[in-house]
Amino acid sequence: MQHPAPLVKDRLHSDMEALTPSERRVASALLTDYPVAGLQSITKLAVQAEVSTPTVIRMARKLGFDGFPDLQNALRGEVADQIKKPMSKHARTQGHRPEGHTIAKFSEAVFANLGHTLDRLDTATFDAVAALLAEPAHSLYLAGGRITRSNADYLFNHLQIIRPSVTLLGQSANVWPQYLLDMDAQSVLIVFDIRRYEKDLQKLAALAKSRGATLVLFTDQWSSPIAAEADYCFNAMVEAPSSWDSTIAIMLIIEALIAEVQSKGWAQSAERIEELESMFNATRLFRNF
């Protein structure tokens, strides 16, 4: 399978050290209001970054583009990918179906997603988030969108066994202010938001940040607008030959985090698991083998 072209913002981050101070101002302007800043005229971007238009062109070429119009075309492609609706996505995949059984084609896409996600994963961010989630002093809150709520629920089910003070926010945004009341600087809000990004989640993230909470975001390769507020962000590849995006790469990060959090707080989690098993035995909820 052909590897997808790197996102413009990934190129900006990876090539930042090779840019001159003036070119870095252009890069910063692009990243501050991404991708909108790059879709305006070259003159407006130059004024915003307080540089000349030739500086904008030089920066675009250093990123590997033929010039600023080529960079803009890449940004337009990213925007088009973000706003695809399920049915249009389905039509596109139906028109480009490779040979082979559906399960083989889907598996190929998923394996590619996993590989690209791991290539982009910042292990320092992973370690920092694991340490944050393992610290009992922090109250954890989780929220997901229409599709990603199942990811939030999965992480919640495991974390509440491993440690105390874990809350899954109710499905209705109308009740979220009740959870916000208890959020403070010791709180961590974990949000899942992939394309067709949800405004309710953006409002929740902004309000939680205003109360001092630490924000952890799980999103796709294009990044939810919540990324601008997030303290930690995981970008996972989600494209699949389906009307729907795949969250398997997100689940990979989730399960790795669960394992690491449990490892960090093993003494506490072992005691909780033992107590939970005693409750299961007492209620006979599960069959013994």
DSSP string for residues in 105-138:
HHHHHHHHHHHHHHHH--HHHHHHHHHHHH-TTS
Evaluate whether residue 210 is within a structural domain. Answer: yes
33-42, 81-90, 242-251: the lowest-pLDDT one: 81-90
Point out the domain boundary residue: 82, 110, 134: 82
Regarding whether 133 and 75 lie in a shared domain, the answer is: no
List the CATH number of the domain containing 199: 3.40.50.10490
- Whole-angstrom distance, CA of residue 57 vs CA of residue 253: 37
| Domain contains 165 | yes
Q: Tell the burial category of 101 from Cβ atoms under 10 Å away from its Cβ (0-12, 13-18, 19+).
A: exposed
The more confidently predicted of residues 281 and 39 is 39
Residue 48 lies in a domain: yes
Sign of CA dihedral 177, 183, 184, 189: negative
Pair (141, 26) in one structural domain: no
Q: Is the pLDDT of residue 275 over 70?
A: yes
What CATH number is given to the structural domain containing 56?
Answer: 1.10.10.10
**Residues 47 and 165 placed together within one structural domain of the fold:** no
Is 74 part of a structural domain of the chain?
Answer: yes
Tell me: do 77 and 130 sit in the same domain.
Answer: no
In whole angstroms, give the CA distance from residue 79 to residue 71.
13
Query: How many residues can be counted in the chain?
Result: 289
- Taking alpha carbons only, the member of 202, 176, 102, 182 closest to residue 138 is 182
**Are residues 41 and 180 both part of a single domain?**
no
Q: How far apart, in whole angstroms, are the C-alpha atoms of residue 238 and residue 149?
A: 15
Same domain for 136 and 270, yes or no, is yes
Q: Residue 138: which domain range?
A: 119-280
Give the model confidence (pLDDT) of 104-139 as tens digits.
Answer: 888 888 898 898 889 888 899 999 999 999 999 999
Check whether residue 158 and residue 44 sit in a common domain: no
220 forms beta bridges with 236
How is residue 80 written in tokens? 């088009």
Residue 88 has pLDDT above 60, yes or no: no
Q: Residue 163: inside a domain, yes or no? A: yes
Distance CA 36, CA 194 (A): 18
Are residues 170 and 247 located together in one domain of the fold?
yes
Kindly report, residue by residue over 182-236, the tens digit of the pLDDT: 999 999 999 999 988 899 999 999 999 999 999 999 999 888 889 888 999 999 9
Claim to verify: residue 237 and residue 139 sit in the same structural domain: yes
Percent of the chain topping pLDDT 70:
89
Examine the domain organization and report whether 276 and 134 are in the same domain: yes
90: in domain: no
Residue 98 inside a domain? The answer is no
**Residues in Cβ contact with 200 at an 8 Å cutoff, skipping those fewer than 6 apart:** 173, 176
Same domain, 78 and 138: no
Decide which of 67, 82, 97 is a domain's last residue.
Answer: 82
Domain end residue (candidates: 82, 108, 138):
82
Domain count, the chain: 2
Q: Based on the domain organization, do 174 and 242 belong to the same domain?
A: yes
Tell me whether residue 190 is in a domain.
yes
Report the distance separating Cα 205 and Cα 194, nearest Å: 14
Closest CA to 166 of 144, 143, 198: 143
